Structure 1
């Protein structure tokens, strides 16, 4: 398993810490998926869960888009993967989903998120509310770290089930 992640610094300002921890967790999901076939990426966990590594990648592409394009930048557009009509499409509809498209979309959303985030102060309030609440850019970054950390735990279990590989 290839690992090109750069560990977050032990000392740094708040912005550097948030940015570096988010990058670490983005990289962790990539590491968990590295070297697997399309079939392995589609392999579901244990019933009744339909979770798969491919589903996690698709989900995180959606999450990146929702928070950075939507909440932070105020963009309105369709949700990825048909989630406008089927809330769990990112997880459920992986059997014939394109692995290349999922990873390309995830990376494109990460690239866009980096660009938007770089130009916004931490205290800035997003241009859209979430569940009727304003969200600061700082809150969005912390939430994204939490979202990746939680799902990376899932990814670790999925990867171990597939081929026994474990790791940070």
Structure 2
């Protein structure tokens, strides 16, 4: 039997909450949305590109967001010494470009694991905690949450178009 991306029950963002709960809720909603856009698709469908010349695929978005979760929350904010998942100096866009249908199930598990590790890495931190970027800029955890929500929102728009092109499915 062929693996297909699992169904996802998308969490509803909170309507009234403190700032941290609101940011986490919106981030979780967008995380779920990306996975929901992939639900029911085969590995072969997940690697279908949108339209030339773009190489954008749903599996590429899943790999990219795992890379981004690790990079922002674990490597930058928490200072964990973990290597990038897919990208290298030689292949900085490997998360989008190196796609293997045989590893699709593992890539979905990888994203879920990175989300859990990211949440754990910053759970005890204040939104006001800061860290210094390589370029010398100081950034807060609050900024990272807002950036991650924006990152998922932008890519979820891409995922909408990709999914519609693959099988005509549209929706929120």
Which deviates the most, 115-124 or 150-159? 115-124
1:139 alignment partner in structure 2: 143
Partners of 1:90 and 1:47 in 2: CA distance? 18
Q: What's the C-alpha RMSD, in Å, of the aligned pairs? A: 1.6
The runs of 5 or more residues in structure 1 that have no matched partner are none
Whether contact under 8 Å (1:78, 1:84) holds in the other structure is: no
* 1:153 corresponds to 2:157: yes
Shift of 1:105: 1.2
1:55-105 deviations in Å (ceiling 9; x for gaps): 000000000000011110112332111433201111111145610221111
* 1:17 corresponds to 2:32: no
Question: Structure 1 residues 136, 97: CA separation in 2 closer, same or farther (over 3 Å shift)?
Answer: farther
> Any idea what SS the aligned residue of 1:135 has?
strand
1:46 alignment partner in structure 2: 51
Whether contact under 8 Å (2:55, 2:96) holds in the other structure is: yes
> TM-score of the superposition, structure 1-length normalised?
0.93
* 1:120 corresponds to 2:125: yes
> TM-score of the superposition, structure 2-length normalised?
0.91
Question: Structure 1 residues 44, 125: CA separation in 2 closer, same or farther (over 3 Å shift)?
Answer: same
Partners of 1:156 and 1:130 in 2: CA distance? 33
Shift of 1:130: 4.7
Aligned to 1:91, which of 87, 91, 96?
Answer: 96
> Any idea what SS the aligned residue of 1:81 has?
coil
Aligned to 1:27, which of 29, 32, 37?
Answer: 32
1:122-166 deviations in Å (ceiling 9; x for gaps): 00013x515321210100000000000000000000000001111
Question: Structure 1 residues 3, 102: CA separation in 2 closer, same or farther (over 3 Å shift)?
Answer: closer
2:70 alignment partner in structure 1: 65
> Any idea what SS the aligned residue of 1:7 has?
coil
Whether contact under 8 Å (1:83, 1:90) holds in the other structure is: no
- Runs ≥4 residues deviating over 4 A: none
> Any idea what SS the aligned residue of 1:46 has?
coil
